[in-house]
Structure 1
Amino acid sequence: MTEQRDYRNTVFLPKTSFPMKAGLPQKEPGILARWQEQNIYETIREHRRGREKFILHDGPPYANGDMHIGHALNHILKDMVVRTQTLLGKDAPYVPGWDCHGLPIEWKVEEEYRKKKKNKDEVPPEEFRAECRAYAQNWVNVQREQLKRLGIGGDWDHPYLTMDFDAEATIVSELMKFAESGMLYRGAKPVMWSPVEKTALADAEVEYADIVSTQIDVGFEIVEAPECPELVGTTAVIWTTTPWTIPINQALAYGKPIDYLQITVAGKKYLVAEPLVDAFCKRLNEDGYDFEMYVKGPLLEGAKALHPMHHLGGFFAEPRPFLPGDFVTTDSGTGLVHMSPDHGEDDFDLCKAHGIGPKFVVEGDGKYRADWLWLGGQGSVINPKFNAPDGPICTALREAGGLLAASADYTHSYPHSWRSKAKVIYRCTPQWFVPMDKPLPHQGLTLRETAWDALADTRFVPAKGRNRISAMVNTRPDWVLSRQRAWGVPITLFVHRKSGEYLADPEVNARIVSAIRENGVDAWTDERAQEYLGNAYSAEDYERITDILDVWFDSGSTHAFVLESGKWPDLMRPADYSGPPADLYLEGSDQHRGWFQSSLLESCATRGHAPYKAVLTHGFTMDAKGFKMSKSLGNTVNPLKIMEQYGADIIRLWALSVDFTEDHRIGDEILKGTADQYRKLRNTMRYLLGALADYDEAEALPVAEMPELERYVLTLLGKLDKTLRQAVADFDFNTYVRELLDFCNEDLSAFFFDIRKDCLYCDSPADPKRRAYRTVLDTLFHALVRWAAPVTVFTAEEVWTTRYPEGSSVHLLEWPRVPSVIEPGENPDIDGNSGLERKWERLRAVRSTVMEQIEPMRREKTIGSGLQATVRIGSDLLPDGDFSDADLAELFITATVSRGQGSEVTVTPSTDHKCGRCWRHLPEVSEDGALCGRCDDAVGAMEEA
């Protein structure tokens, strides 16, 4: 036996400096710094200027606290939209923004005051607002750097801030459009009110949580009943879980369709709805009752009853009328509802219809007015002890004989402020409203109807979002614009002291807007009132409104100062453009009642259409078990720590892999799985870089001259191209990432690369098959690095600059051009598959069968690898086509293949000798370590060269 030669230096192994280990936490900051140094965002703008625009308008996150996982998901999705549209060749700028006014910031500054024993009301308003402004700016700066670290591309040096003077002036200007068109009114209605924060709240600022309340049954003695005199002297029973509203009761509501019973319990007559009598008796701790008579609902018309505290006189002495209410049910309680128009929407509407108005008894801090006959100056009304069975309300009712039952055991859902977490109340106060059902000037349609039409013209992703926001618009009350706080854009109106009408003079309004553009919201002062009113009006005749605007009006106006002001020219549409200025708004699903809706209403009222063409919503990120994240539960996931451990590209890959349209999960095991997917993608890129070492375009072969396997892979690449294009159009990034990863893992690494590694390593560089393979690898590289760039922004840049160290950024490139493989005149089948695809799909199935039989032999060490296996395969398994046994051996990565009858597959160890270079066992190899014919030719050519 001759001495074996070592042929390792004759094998063309991949060569690359691209490391297997990513080291993203250390590497990404350097890439980010290089982008900043090169001003890559502006370079992209220059490359795309003049192209078709795609405008994603950033919904402003709140400038309050570090970035959390919801911020990360939201901005990664936005970045994916912008980058994929840019990849398609569009001009897709991104201007980030922040919401800077409002209660959360004011509340934080007040917390600092409280720690220092400092009274906010003793600080000049300008000084307080300056502290709020500084607080907001600090968090803008913090969040900006955190979001940049995620690889979010945008105009970070010129973000929009709602507290910028230009923005504040534009918000005021938008308010004036409402005022000048008559779409503002001042009225008293019950609104959600936080006694802790002392301000009205928007629906979007309220969350619900279960609480345990005191439930009480209270008796009102009927003193008049013209339709049923037998009821006089009977006690009408009401049930409530808000005892604090009894001191403001003004009426009782009954249901016309309801059958009531007059009953006697322990010698006293009561009136209760028939279905609720047993439950009432149980609360009285009575076993039964004596039936007296049925009382149909209409018989209560005109009836009146005494308030249980009528002995106090004054307000309480007036008998309370019975009013028919279609909202009265027999689901719970007694079928009779006590009415306090100050503290309930149904109460307010029903009482108003009968000439009964609110009394404004409860102050902003939740205490009763000092001059109120009963409990004046006491409270707070949301304090459980104040409402408890032994508290002052129940004690007084009990002493007056009006408290029939009381227990602190009623569990129910109740609204809370999502900032302070304190309970809120309905409170009737004078506020400024935008009417939903008043016809808009020059349109004929109401704001509600205009919004409906706009929603019908808007694309929603997912589609169910349309129904959700439409239902909210359909049922929402008039928009409450006013808040009673300091840090915000003022409602810059003057109201005539005698007539109560607000001034809607365009010249006055223009002076106000100009002053705020120059000095910000601090310009709205009493000292400057006459300056704004000019010579035509006297400041003594007008009240200057000191309320501020709902911050949802601020954010709802962002389309005006970001997309239309010209401050960001890249966001501007052509002068003759008249449609929605934004192609897309993208936020969490909670914004159906928040920013999506306020933007819709603001734009519909002032422009007659929505500010967006499409709305995309994402769900919320839950912990690994599917629970909502909470600091108190200790299950929050910090994106900053994830970046320290894994890198930003891992967070990005996770965010774009989940079905973000629904609630989704994150946790250690999930992130480990994402990191494993990333590793496989990185290895694909590493293989491509190594296999393409020293590749020259002169090596390329035309598609027509390539083997079938290469043309098949190019066909798959073409199908992937269409799939990814459709995924971008659908904003279906879950599909985008999954299809991209599956192609890399299943079609390339486990199939194409696996088969052709022998060709790459062992064929002569001039061999047409090897040239074809490397030509396809080059095509794959240019496609995959571009498609991966919007997902793993840092890794794609590392891959690109590894191959082209002197080249520009991968993020300047456009969507790849994929060569067509389908022959002219060939018609794909109904699934879009060509004959080539059908043939190779069948061959892949046979390959899987062969490999399944080889694997047990490898495990049992009968053979070391498939290269030591001889396969015999039934011809019935094989598709029609011109391919040799040697082609099949290469496909299966075995020593040899022969054909038999039927559909049987047999695998046996080869008895042939092993080639010393390619390691295949072949009949032509004379002894172990000798060369097969192919390798002998390749080595000879190398030695001759």
Structure 2
Amino acid sequence: MADATDTTDTPSGRDYRDTVFLPETPFPMRGGLPQKEPLILEQWGDLYGTLRAERQAQKAPLYVLHDGPPYANGDIHIGHALNKTLKDFVVRSRFLLGYDVDYVPGWDCHGLPIEWKIEEQFRAKGRRKDEVSKDEFRAACREYAGKYIDLQRDQFKRLGITGDFANRYATMDFTSEAAIIAEFHKFKNSGQLYRGSKPVMWSPVERTALADAEIEYHDHVSPTIWVKFPVTGVSDDHPDDLLAFRTSTPSIVIWTTTPWTIPANRAISYGPEIAYGLYEVTAMEEGLEFAPWAKPGDRLIVADKLAEEVFKAAKIAAWTRIYDINPSGLECAHPLAALDSGYGFSVPLLAGDHVTDDAGTGFVHTAPGHGADDFEVWKAHGHHEVPDTVDPDGAYYPTVPLFAGLKVLETEGKKTGKFGPANGAVMDKLIEAGNLLARGRLEHSYPHSWRSKAPVIFRNTPQWFIRMDEPLKSGDTLREMALTAIDDTAFHPAAGKNRIRSMVEGRPDWLVSRQRAWGTPLAMFIDKQTGQPLHDPEVDARIVKAVAEHGADIWFTAPDSDFLGAHDPARYEKVEDILDVWFDAGSTHAFVLDPRLPEHGYTGDRPAHWPADLYLEGSDQHRGWFQSSLLEGCGTRGRAPFKAVLTHGFTLDEKGEKQSKSKGNTTDPLTVIKESGADILRLWVSLVDYSEDQRIGKQILQTTVDAYRKLRNTVRYLLGALADFDEAERLPLEQMPPLEKFILHRLWELDAHVRQAYVEYRFQDVVRPVLEFCSNDLSALYFDIRKDSLYCDRPDSLRRRAARTVMDAVFMRLTAWLAPLTPFTMEEAWTTRFPDAGTNCARVIPETPAEWENAAEAKRWKDVQWVLLTVNEALEASRREKTIGSTLDAEVAILTDQSVLDLFESEQEAADVFRSSSAKLILWDADDAKALDVWDSLPAISFEPIAKAMSDQARLMVKVLPITDRPKCARSWRRVPDVGSDPAYPDLSARDADAVRYWDQTRS
């Protein structure tokens, strides 16, 4: 069927264009999404409220997705867009599957990034932070976060995100802060909380302790030094060593990448299983540009395995190993003792399992105030005093000999975040003392704050911790409960389980205190006599109630007596540290999933659904929100607050590089929405494998636009073909032609696939098969074959009715299947056809009858498509040779096996499939001379021998024969024998004459 506009060779001279039933639809080819999507958003109104009301009226099963809170401090970026769109896929697909979906968007509001912004604002006004009251400062932080909650909420809505925005949560809401404090009190009262003084990751730039989840590692070049610790004493079990030491003083050699920690040294650790030796230097390297610090006669103790490496660094050319050394019981002088009596203490040798001979010297310089292993080995050997060397600003305390006030890390000015003069000063003093053996530089992975990007240091400070390995009432430790909960959780992808499990297995106690202003306080009192937290339910209840009414600010402004009641305020210390923001976020399940309790300030009736069905965030949250939620849930309720965890990767640029504003390689989701529409961005999300890192950029988005056009054109064609379709036209399955039965089978097949893919969060496995169905089964096969029937058959013909019945089934499912992924376009399509049927978003996937399954037709049409591919090659060759104009100018003849002939019910069906005017089907039989004579008698205008084979190795040859002895139907352009058979319509085929007569009669 052509476009029926050519009236050449029409005896009647009539223009039949008006009689052709061409598709008609107001649904335009161009999407115009940036203009249409805001209008659709207005039409939806409170879409989420509408959907929930419908599902609750239907008593649908409840499904809960708990929102991991984004940080409220700027416009959304592409990571936000990916994350929130994936969540929206979950929400909308669960509505589509018939659930009542609970999804409350939330925001994380406390923490340093906002605090820094407010500090900058006050500095711009000439006010330092310490000149601003905590009340005023926190109010400014709250206002700042509130502004960005509103901004991001509107941007998420424009992206098409549906959720309970009217009841959104925020960690800074008064009721949220009250609930967080109530959760903290559970840890306090169960004995899981303790105050300990030990080294923690400390950010001098941010002036606070950091947890493991707040640390990221970057390459960094550190100075390395080999330092001599002169041996000063031995125990009674070293008689041989004692004799040697009287004649010369050997030194134990340590190696470190943190010279600034040498003033904090209190011991040297060694490995009990490591072989050590006493070595004497006999010669130095010659021709050096500088004088080395070692000299012949020096005696050095190092691990045998590392001796050569140490001597190479010290430019020692020759040495002699004197004998084995057992470091147990040795004592050394501090390497700076000769310069200041403040370092006149003895440095003992301590056995430690953490010491290896893989690198360094086999000895570990031990500064218990600046390293976790150092601290543990120091304590394990009965030492309790841990020296404080570096203050919160990253400078040596005034009491530190030789180095008082020097900065380890700069915290102000242009050099903020850079290492200060401390390293250099310590090395200079070691040289002066004669105890620097060698130095160098090393590029290695170094911890940095994920917020400030500045290096951090280990620093001994009193902090509050939650125990990981203390047995609770159940008998299990928090670590054991968390590991059990991980095993009980479904992970998507499955590899996430091993990742978070390994992190929980090796993590230290949970550091929950921070020394900042903007956050939820550790709202508790400490008994000054015992040093223990106050356990009084009435005090806790007063604190929670006051915070629910006035916000956490009340903790800092109200007098202690307001909370303590009958307790004497003079006896108690108020803790003003704030909670780790991960504790805030990890507690959100307590006030979003559990019933919102009246004592926390909540009103209304909201049922509990705990734990959540799903948590969904980026893969970095295995060490962040997933883990803090896991520990918080296990510590207060004995299990994780989620049944399943889904993680996605990070979004990179088109080259696979990390996106950065400084590089200029970012993709702004708001710009994409403005230029192309939210559905384009959503389609991109659906097409990528979110479990891995994804790429995005102009070229990738253009590919997405191309895929969208194919999808839109498919829906547009269906809308046009279905104009005025009604139930009276519907045809039952038993009257369907084979091609329609095949398409219905494909719908049955896809329906099961799509449902399961949505259940398993495999959105790529929804959109790609559906797009392939649209492109291959519909556009390239079904629409093309049935175009002639749709345009030219009588409206009441069985074949046309069958086609429109099947197209209706396709439309009903496509608009449902794709509604979660491209909701704006599917809404536009649905309301174009059914303007009074309500929103497409409220639908569930139509039930697909089991009787549509038809494996036989599926097999048949797979083979037919193989034949069609071969025929199309021949037709294209003939068009290139200009032996035919269109395929309707041709008759297709095929010589083939019986198995191929059996694929077609008739030669007319074959012609319909080939889109030719007629077809000849000839059996390939070497014993049938007549059949071969027929084939040979056909003119070889285009002869295409094809060696391809189906599963049964069928043979196939094709000839394309131009039709020159039949007139062209003026309406359908087919060249068939019955053109002119109806005297009333001498230029039409019998089929077309009947259709035009019907058309004329209905309009007369």
Q: TM-score range by the shorter chain?
A: over 0.9
Match of 1:191 among 197, 200, 224: 200
Structure 1 equivalent of residue 275 of structure 2:
259
Structure 1 equivalent of residue 357 of structure 2:
330
> CA shift at 1:527, angstroms?
4.5
Q: Equivalent residues in 2 for 1:537-556 (5 A)?
A: 537-556=567-586
Question: CA distance change for structure 1 residues 593 and 230 in 2, over 3 Å: closer, same or farther?
Answer: farther
Contact 2:81 2:669 in 1 (8 A): yes
Distance of 1:179 and 1:388 partners within structure 2: 39
Structure 2 equivalent of residue 774 of structure 1:
804
> CA shift at 1:355, angstroms?
2.1
Structure 2 equivalent of residue 907 of structure 1:
960
Deviations 1:440-462 (A, max 9, x none): 22x11110111111111111000
Contact 2:260 2:422 in 1 (8 A): no
> CA shift at 1:329, angstroms?
1.9
Structure 2 equivalent of residue 941 of structure 1:
998
How many positions carry a matched residue from both structures? 923
> CA shift at 1:899, angstroms?
1.2
3-state secondary structure, aligned to 1:581: coil
3-state secondary structure, aligned to 2:305: helix
The question of 1:235 aligning with 2:264 is answered: no
> CA shift at 1:223, angstroms?
1.3
3-state secondary structure, aligned to 1:524: helix
Deviations 1:660-694 (A, max 9, x none): 00111001110000001011110011011111111
3-state secondary structure, aligned to 2:851: coil
Structure 1 equivalent of residue 773 of structure 2:
743
Contact 1:710 1:773 in 2 (8 A): yes
> CA shift at 1:255, angstroms?
1.5
> CA shift at 1:311, angstroms?
2.9
The question of 1:843 aligning with 2:864 is answered: yes
Structure 1 equivalent of residue 143 of structure 2:
134
Deviations 1:547-589 (A, max 9, x none): 1100101000000111113379999556xx7xx4200000000
Question: CA distance change for structure 1 residues 883 and 316 in 2, over 3 Å: closer, same or farther?
Answer: same
Structure 2 equivalent of residue 34 of structure 1:
43
Root-mean-square deviation (CA), in Å? 1.9
The question of 1:455 aligning with 2:496 is answered: no
> CA shift at 1:889, angstroms?
0.5
- Which stretch of the first structure deviates more once superposed, 629-638 or 642-651? 629-638
Structure 2 equivalent of residue 887 of structure 1:
909
> CA shift at 1:279, angstroms?
2.3
Contact 1:870 1:897 in 2 (8 A): yes
3-state secondary structure, aligned to 1:83: helix
Q: Equivalent residues in 2 for 1:676-715 (5 A)?
A: 676-715=706-745
> CA shift at 1:3, angstroms?
5.5
Question: What are the ranges of 5 or more consecutive residues in structure 1 without an aligned counterpart?
Answer: 824-832
For 1:740, give the aligned amino acid: V
Structure 2 equivalent of residue 57 of structure 1:
66
Structure 2 equivalent of residue 248 of structure 1:
264
Match of 2:756 among 726, 732, 737: 726
Match of 1:373 among 401, 408, 412: 401
Structure 2 equivalent of residue 48 of structure 1:
55
3-state secondary structure, aligned to 1:347: helix
> CA shift at 1:313, angstroms?
5.2
Deviations 1:422-471 (A, max 9, x none): 10111111100100011122x11110111111111111000011110111
Match of 2:425 among 372, 385, 392: 392
For 1:634, give the aligned amino acid: G
For 2:62, give the aligned amino acid: K
Structure 1 equivalent of residue 369 of structure 2:
342
Match of 1:423 among 436, 451, 455: 455
Distance of 1:98 and 1:701 partners within structure 2: 53
> CA shift at 1:362, angstroms?
1.0
Structure 1 equivalent of residue 876 of structure 2:
855
Distance of 1:259 and 1:131 partners within structure 2: 61
For 1:290, give the aligned amino acid: W
Match of 2:182 among 173, 177, 181: 173
For 2:996, give the aligned amino acid: V
Structure 1 equivalent of residue 322 of structure 2:
293
For 1:856, give the aligned amino acid: A
Contact 1:563 1:571 in 2 (8 A): no
Contact 2:901 2:923 in 1 (8 A): no
Structure 1 equivalent of residue 927 of structure 2:
none
Contact 1:915 1:929 in 2 (8 A): no
Q: Equivalent residues in 2 for 1:630-641 (5 A)?
A: 630-641=660-671
> CA shift at 1:96, angstroms?
0.4
The question of 1:820 aligning with 2:847 is answered: no
Match of 1:143 among 142, 146, 152: 152
Structure 1 equivalent of residue 705 of structure 2:
675
> CA shift at 1:526, angstroms?
6.8
Contact 1:868 1:921 in 2 (8 A): yes
Question: CA distance change for structure 1 residues 361 and 242 in 2, over 3 Å: closer, same or farther?
Answer: same
Structure 2 equivalent of residue 830 of structure 1:
none
Distance of 1:117 and 1:330 partners within structure 2: 55
> CA shift at 1:132, angstroms?
0.4
Structure 1 equivalent of residue 127 of structure 2:
118
Match of 1:920 among 957, 974, 978: 974
For 1:431, give the aligned amino acid: Q
The question of 1:84 aligning with 2:93 is answered: yes
The question of 1:432 aligning with 2:464 is answered: yes
The question of 1:662 aligning with 2:675 is answered: no
3-state secondary structure, aligned to 1:821: helix
3-state secondary structure, aligned to 2:553: helix
Deviations 1:99-135 (A, max 9, x none): 0011111111112233333210111100000000011
Deviations 1:469-524 (A, max 9, x none): 11111000000010000000110111111211111111111111111111111111
Distance of 1:504 and 1:853 partners within structure 2: 88
The question of 1:317 aligning with 2:349 is answered: no
> CA shift at 1:781, angstroms?
0.9
3-state secondary structure, aligned to 1:632: coil
> CA shift at 1:881, angstroms?
5.5
Deviations 1:16-51 (A, max 9, x none): 111101111111111112222xx2221111101121
Contact 1:309 1:400 in 2 (8 A): yes
Contact 1:763 1:935 in 2 (8 A): yes
Contact 1:843 1:879 in 2 (8 A): no
Normalising by structure 2, we get a TM-score of 0.90
Deviations 1:732-775 (A, max 9, x none): 00111111111111111111111101110000001011001111
Deviations 1:290-338 (A, max 9, x none): 1132425xx1101111111113555521111111222222222211110
3-state secondary structure, aligned to 1:709: helix
Contact 1:493 1:502 in 2 (8 A): yes
- Which stretch of the first structure deviates more once superposed, 377-386 or 552-561? 377-386
Q: Equivalent residues in 2 for 1:523-672 (5 A)?
A: 523-525=554-556, 527-535=558-566, 537-566=567-596, 572-573=606-607, 580-672=610-702
> CA shift at 1:654, angstroms?
0.2
Distance of 1:114 and 1:209 partners within structure 2: 30
Distance of 2:332 and 2:619 partners within structure 1: 47
Contact 2:234 2:331 in 1 (8 A): yes
Distance of 1:157 and 1:822 partners within structure 2: 43
Distance of 1:375 and 1:601 partners within structure 2: 42
Who wins on radius of gyration, i.e. which is larger? 2
Question: CA distance change for structure 1 residues 433 and 613 in 2, over 3 Å: closer, same or farther?
Answer: same
3-state secondary structure, aligned to 2:100: coil
Match of 2:522 among 472, 491, 505: 491
Distance of 1:692 and 1:849 partners within structure 2: 31
> CA shift at 1:231, angstroms?
6.3
3-state secondary structure, aligned to 1:914: coil
Contact 1:915 1:930 in 2 (8 A): yes
Contact 2:135 2:556 in 1 (8 A): no
Distance of 1:764 and 1:322 partners within structure 2: 101
Normalising by structure 1, we get a TM-score of 0.95
3-state secondary structure, aligned to 1:690: helix
For 1:889, give the aligned amino acid: A
